[in-house]
Amino acid sequence: MKQRLLFTLLLLAASLVATSCATAPLSPTTFEPAVSQALPEVPTDPEAVIPTDPAIHTGRLENGLTWYVRRNAVPSDRVELWLVVNAGSVLEDEDQRGLAHFVEHMAFNGTRDFAKQELVKYLESIGMRFGADVNASTTFDETLYTLTIPTDKTEFLEQGFKILENWAAHISFDPEEVDKERGVVIEEWRLGRGASARMNDRQFPVLFQGSRYAERLPIGKKDILETATAETLRRFYADWYRPDLMAVIAVGDVDPSRLKELIRRHFGRIPAAAAPRERPSFPVPPHAETLVAVATDPETTDTSGSVYSKLPARRQDRVGDY
């Protein structure tokens, strides 16, 4: 009886809901016509070079430095500044193994306009955080410095470009500061010497056989890191930190003409190298036979296998490349 009564009540409730839905007046609905936007004309010829985004401004200074500028309003009151140096660990001389990375560290330990820790203190004083807003990295082929600068004050943008200029041409390499930073770099080397690194030591000479990449890991060699002098660091810096091997990228909530003016002012006064050392390339040679590397380590926690196919470098600037 109770179940029948419950069932009856449920039916009644359902009918009331259905009636309510059926008799409720509908709200008038209006539809806005879609606004059609003409898409930019895309070339279809496979050999056609993909055009550069017209919003990107690019150029080259008389000293050889290349620059790229673009306005981007999101996030507001911010600009991203990058200094890209076309030089990494593969360019190190035999007595410089690991010094491309060491130079990157020294950029934060004294320059012409920012003595010792002044640079770090200034960036922190305007709310910038290392890792998130300030960073740098060194790879085989390049070294990259990045700043995310607040632009709500004119001074911040000016100082951001001054910092990039100091990294590009005015790192001090004070011997005392070099010795202080040496321990930090060696500790990074030590922390990186886990199972993965030890197995890479056996795989890379096979994977990059016949190329300098096999013996120029960015972290370098401990004995060189322990003994390298300020003068040896300066030699790498003088050889490879030069305008014709650099690019500056500025993107953010700032008028592009303002960014271009700051680039010309800060980087146009850096002199071109008088007798530039040739920047070589180090291709990985092909081979007919199958090469095999087997690496084990007591600390590894899994087993994996990889198959690599070496292919010639290809162009990536034409429609047909995609």
58 φ/ψ angles, rounded to the nearest 5 degrees: -140, 155
pLDDT at res. 198: 92
pLDDT at res. 41: 75
Instruction: Look at the alpha carbons of 261, 263, 267, 268 in this order and tell me if their dihedral is positive or negative.
Output: negative
pLDDT at res. 314: 87
Cα 80–chain centre separation: 11
pLDDT at res. 124: 94
Report if residue 179 sits inside a domain: yes
pLDDT at res. 9: 35
Report if residue 13 sits inside a domain: no
Q: Give the whole-angstrom CA distance, residue 85 versus residue 264.
A: 17
pLDDT at res. 40: 65
Report if residue 131 sits inside a domain: yes
pLDDT at res. 5: 39
Looking at the structure of the chain, the number of domains it has is 1
Q: 197 Cβ partners below 8 Å, 6+ apart?
A: 219
For residue range 178-200, what is the model confidence (pLDDT) as tens digits? Answer: 999 999 999 999 999 999 999 99
Report if residue 310 sits inside a domain: no
Q: Give the whole-angstrom CA distance, residue 82 versus residue 249.
A: 5
Range of the domain at 83: 56-272
Whether 145 contacts 107, CB under 8 Å: yes
Taking 70 as the pLDDT cut, the residues of the chain under it are: 1-40
Cα 187–chain centre separation: 23
Cα distances (angstroms) measured from residue 20 to each of 12, 23, 155: 12, 5, 65
Q: Which residues are catalytic?
A: 104, 181
Nearest by Cα to 160 from 236, 195, 284, 152: 152
Report if residue 253 sits inside a domain: yes
pLDDT at res. 18: 37
Report if residue 193 sits inside a domain: yes
321 φ/ψ angles, rounded to the nearest 5 degrees: -70, -10
Cα distances (angstroms) measured from residue 193 to each of 96, 127, 181, 185, 312: 19, 34, 19, 13, 32
* Largest pairwise CA distance in the chain: 103
Report if residue 248 sits inside a domain: yes
pLDDT at res. 35: 52
pLDDT at res. 28: 52
Residue 119 corresponds to which tokens in the numbers above?
């640079």
Q: What is the CATH number of the domain that holds 222?
A: 3.30.830.10
pLDDT at res. 102: 99
Helix residue ranges, H only, the chain: 2-23, 99-106, 118-125, 154-169, 175-191, 195-207, 222-227, 230-240, 256-267
Report if residue 306 sits inside a domain: no
Q: Give the whole-angstrom CA distance, residue 201 versus residue 102.
A: 21
For residue range 91-147, what is the model confidence (pLDDT) as tens digits? Answer: 999 999 999 999 999 999 999 999 988 999 999 999 999 889 999 999 999 999 999
Cα distances (angstroms) measured from residue 6 to each of 1, 2, 19, 87: 9, 6, 20, 80
Whether 251 contacts 148, CB under 8 Å: no
